[in-house]
Chain A
Amino acid sequence: MMIKRRIRRIKDVWKVRRLKSRWLYLFQPYQGEELVSLDIETTSLDVSKAQILSICAVVIKGNRVLSSEKLCLTLSPPKDLPRDSVKVHKLRRMDLNEGLPVVEALEKMLKFIGNRPIVGYNIGYDLAVLDRYVRPLFDFGMPNRYVDVMDLYRNKTQLTGGVDCQINLSFEAIAKGLDVPVLGRHTALGDAITTAIIYVRLKCSVSLLT
């Protein structure tokens, strides 16, 4: 799937260049030191069926999580809101009624992230769902480079002698393993911030390297 994404991205770049699209800058290589931690809440774990309910993102810079510089979007409710998913993300239909139309929300998101790399937990899923939304509307997929804290965590623990099958890679387990408090689990903002802290912890901590 990763290779498929790569190939599609190359096609996208080519297309965007040719069309001189206003989104061309999203495909420029990023020079700065910031990243964007991203999380979305959806109605299902099945990429092909999932409907996006909310999108949240916070900026990471050095050892800082700039939670004051954040994006929090609620989308207008999809036609069907499965009972089971409501129990997880706790967004009821009434909570979504003031949500943004999908196009507007996605434009805001693309502008907020810009060409900065994305950080996320199991980010492949989020990107796949977003791709499904973005591609028909903008004619390209999510353009950003990305880092998955799950991979980072796996690499770090393997370096220190853990064996793959023994590592619990659930979100809670990673947070616990790194002694990071979980803030507002299953809210997009809470997860985005927690993920950001996990990233900073993995990147900055001296103690984990030794």
Chain B
Amino acid sequence: MHSSNTFNADVLPFNLLDEDEYTLLQDNLDIGYYQASEVIISTGDVPEGLYIILKGCVRELDVQSVDKRHGHTFVHYTNDDYFGAWSALRGSAIHDFVADEETICYILPTKILLDLIYRNASFGGFFNKNLSLQNELLEQKNDSLNMTEFMLARIDSSCMRDASLLPKGTDLEYATQFMSDQQIDCALVQRGKRYGIVTRTDLLNAIVLDKLPVTADVQVIANYRLITVESGDYLFNALILMTLHQIDRVVVMQGSELHGIIDLADTLSYFSSHSHVVGLRIERATSIDELKAAAGDMGNLIRSLYAQGVKVRFAMDLLAALNKRLMSKLFNLVVPENVLPHVCLVVMGSEGRGEQIVRIDQDNGLIMRDSLDWPECQQTLEHYTQALVGLGYPKCPGQVMVNNPFWVQPISTWTQRMRDWVAKADSDSLLNLAISMDAYPVAGNKALFKTSRNWLLRELQQQQRFLSSFAEVALVFETPLNFLGGIRDRAAGVDVKKGGIFPIVHGVRVLAMQYQVAETNTYKRIESLVKLGVLPQRLGSELMESFSLLQWFRLSHHLNQQEQECSVEDLNNDVDLGALDRLEKDLLRQSFQVVKDFKKHLSLRYRLGLGL
């Protein structure tokens, strides 16, 4: 009987629940009443569950700031907003939640929340999205955590097979029969206290090549130099051992006791789309087809990283590393070995900064040694570009690719051209310069690239006037904030790239050029600039935080679009405000505010008209 229901379920995510789930929710809600400035959840507490505000206002505060009394408020929650979901799922609160005024909240116990998440996939998905965002909020506080999460799988019975031990005095015939019956391709034998391994290949070689009689003792052909790992060690270490020794299986021991065998195939399927395996597969690939398989895994990797709530910066680093390895491997496969020392493949733009997560385009170029004689150059590079497209890197709409002779130049022309661009400083030149400044070498002779980069950094130092007109580009797009500091909403959505990501990237790039910071990654550039005292510490960390959040919004928007079968060319950066909940909107607004502050900072530094 709905007339007795009091909880408003018309708002996200509760309108995703069906009748039964709604009843379950309704039956388990309590109501709490809090005074103004009463702490509802304090950091580190085990929260009772999810809080939904019936009336009132609640602030989410950074724990360190509570002592200082004027803390960093992340979000304000008001009527019908919910909070504490992540804290509840995580088991302990990451921030303080304080009532701003007298507040009445519904409280949904964690257990019921989990039930609902488990029962209703779309309801669960809503909180999952929130989880990645919250992780983004956790900032740089525990950087090491994410890295280890991937390698946390340990060697236990779930990933190893039982070791089959052949009885003493087994002959070759019986051993072959045994392995065939058991459907295994290796078995262990014992000689004294030592274990040895016999594989099917060993048996084959013994009988066919060494012409041993089938009655020979299997002990004779076994290999006693076992590669072993300890039970409980990281599975990843087993993988490294296999790669190192070029073997397909390792034996698991506990002390001197035999525990089992780990097979390469099992390990790979265990890690499936894990980053390290993708890396290994790239490394092991000997043909373009094998690379293609590895590249295919990377798509899943992005999704799983996002779903696990891995921070954007980490995901970027990881994918950039993999992308670079993949491109370098492909380059080495395509370009003849005698040419390699005389050329250097550079990636530019977002790829050069290592900030591409969803592959949007390939921006690359080739720097050659002066007077290199390589007649098949154009043909080979065209092949390379096509192969990259085949691996899932779409063509660059601006034709910044090695199949375009414009971006394949001897080092002297490469540098001279940059000087021309600086002198000319029209929009095309500025665009080309911006792209080249983010160049990063991935394959070939990296010394060629370093020469050109050092030249550029030196050259630009003397071009103060140019730098200031270059900086002005960062102010070209308006920050989508209205007069009152709210987000200005367009029907199409809010463009997070033009409105936020681009100004940060470009502004930081100009500063990096002026102060000769050789890094290309925006985070690293900011860190270096802070260290040099160019950027105030506070602005620097706010910039990095906002940059991460904006990238997070962009990534989640792109993944959403991809889910709706949107082709790469049609991906846009227009985030729909209507689909965001209160937390997300507030964070987006704060990020734009930081962008605005940064623009102001640039304007003052380079004496630009305050075209905010």
Which A residues lie at the B interface, using CB under 8 A? 56, 63-69, 72, 74, 90-91, 95, 179-181, 183-184, 187-190, 193, 196-197, 200-201, 204-207
Contacts and interface: CB of A to CB of B under 8 A. Distances in A.
Contact of A63 (B6, B27, B34, B109): B34
B30 A65 contact: yes
Nearest to A201: B33
Nearest to A58: B31
Contacts of B31: 64-67, 193, 196-197
Given A184-B4, A184-B5, A187-B4, A197 B104 contact: yes
A91 B1 CA distance: 10
A193 B33 contact: no
A65 B55 CA distance: 14
Contact of B104 (A68, A91, A180, A207): A180
A46 B218 CA distance: 101
A71 B31 CA distance: 15
Contact of B4 (A68, A181, A188, A201): A188
Given A179-B55, A197-B104, 16 more contacts: A63-B33, A63-B34, A64-B32, A64-B33, A65-B31, A67-B31, A68-B27, A91-B3, A181-B54, A187-B3, A188-B4, A190-B6, A196-B31, A200-B33, A201-B102, A206-B35
Contacts of A201: 33, 102
Contacts of B32: 63-65
A207 B36 contact: yes
B28 interface: yes
B6 A193 contact: yes
The 8 closest A-B pairs by CB, nearest first: A65-B31, A183-B6, A189-B4, A200-B33, A63-B33, A68-B28, A184-B6, A181-B55
Give the interface centre of B1, B27, B35, B109 by most chain A CB atoms within 10 Å. Answer: B1
Given A72-B4, A90-B3, A184-B3, A67 B35 contact: no
Contacts of B214: none
Nearest to B36: A207
B29 interface: yes
A201 B455 CA distance: 72
Contacts of B102: 179, 201, 205, 207
A193 B5 CA distance: 11
A205 B55 contact: no
Contacts of B30: 64-69
A91 B35 CA distance: 37
Nearest to A74: B1
Interface in B491-509: none
Interface in B48-64: 54-55
A180 B55 contact: yes
A181 B3 contact: no
Contacts of A184: 3-6
Given A68-B28, A181-B104, A204 B33 contact: yes
Contact of A189 (B6, B28, B55, B104): B6
A64 B107 CA distance: 10
Contacts of B28: 68
A170 to B, nearest CB: 20
Contacts of A90: 3
Contacts of A56: 4
A65 B4 contact: no
A69 B109 CA distance: 13
Given A179-B102, A205-B102, A65 B33 contact: yes
Contacts of B34: 63
A177 B315 CA distance: 53
Nearest to A69: B30
19 contacts: A63-B33, A63-B34, A65-B30, A65-B31, A66-B30, A67-B31, A68-B28, A72-B4, A74-B1, A179-B55, A183-B6, A184-B6, A187-B3, A187-B4, A190-B4, A196-B31, A204-B35, A207-B35, A207-B36
A63 to B, nearest CB: 5
A180 to B, nearest CB: 7
A199 to B, nearest CB: 10
Nearest to A200: B33
Nearest to B31: A65
Contacts of A187: 3-4
A184 B5 CA distance: 7
A204 B1 CA distance: 32
A195 to B, nearest CB: 12
Nearest to A189: B4
Contacts of A183: 6
A72 B36 CA distance: 32
Contacts of A188: 4
A181 B55 CA distance: 7
